[in-house]
Amino acid sequence: MKPLLRTLGGEAVWPPPVWLMRQAGRYLPEYRAVRAGVKDFIALCTTPELAAEVTLQPIRRYGFDAAILFSDILILPWALGHGLEFREGEGPVLPKLHDEAGVAALDPSRVADRVAPVMETVRLVRTGLATEGFADTTLIGFAGAPFTVACYMIEGGGSKDFANIRGMAYAQPALFQRLMDTLTDASIEYLSAQVTAGAEALMLFDSWAGVLSPRLFRAHVIEPAKRIVAALNQRHPGVPIIGFPRLAATLAGDYAAATRVNGVGLDTAADLPRIAAMMPPSTAVQGNLDPLALVAGGAAMAAETAAILDAMRHAERPFIFNLGHGIVPQTPPEHVAALLRLVRAAS
């Protein structure tokens, strides 16, 4: 069985399997060459041949233990009919959703057609892995978790404090819950389609989970993830799911136990052994090198990597080496190669 799937099945594999969030993207010259020929980012995500090529680029270069579908967490609201554009130097820009009409305008019936190119990308990547000699590489599909997707829809893009979404959750709980239910149901269908197309594992990115109070975290991070995992386990038994409730701190233990994900990604600030001890023993822990340590490289990266490996070496639980967040664009590609050598040399 593939190393990542063994780990997500509850086996403590050593050296640990390794892949990196945003391993395909702007830090790679081969990615920039592809991106230069496409009119915009959405077009890149929805052109299967190009999205598949970008997904496979870091596998060819580094031989990671997983390829993660090249797409974006905001493809789902775009597929629901919500506006989306990516502006250079600004990131995603969306119409601000703030009322009943905005939620009512979301149309789940159009999702399957709009994400059809994404499913073709999954099929092409799965074929590419098999034909290019990467038989041990796991293909991960993904979606943004409902709360994080809602963050961008309500704020109209990124935010420093996500005041608008927190305000809606407190002041308009019924409206907010309808939005969360719509996104949860659509996420189930979207992820299920990825498995049908060939994804072997799934990941649920909740990048802004940590901005919520514990009560709202349980209601709008844990509960939607619990529903998504239960539905996918019923439809696709044996397909593992990784949750990434970023900045959850000690609530990551509650998240793991309640949602029954197979693995939990932890951010850079998390103390791996302490948080891992709060989780069921079979739950894989994934993380959590600082992306800026990867930029620095050299002795600093080696020291941080060694600290993570030493912390998990004798933990007697499944562990996946990854970053605490995604690779940043200024990362030297040679530092990524050096990191993989360090992890794979772990004894």
Strand partners, 286: 265, 320
Contact by Cβ (8 Å): 156, 141? no
- Phi then psi for 244, rounded to 5 degrees? -130, 80
| 136-170 as b/e: b if 16+ CB within 10 A | ebbbbbbbbbbbbbbbbbbbbbebeebebbbebbe
Task: Write out the catalytic residue numbers.
Answer: 22, 26, 35, 72, 152
Q: How far apart are CA 122 and CA 298, in angstroms?
A: 35
Q: How far apart are CA 120 and CA 253, in angstroms?
A: 36
How far apart, in Å, are the Cα atoms of 98 and each of 89, 109, 176, 186? Answer: 25, 22, 9, 19
Contact by Cβ (8 Å): 305, 323? no
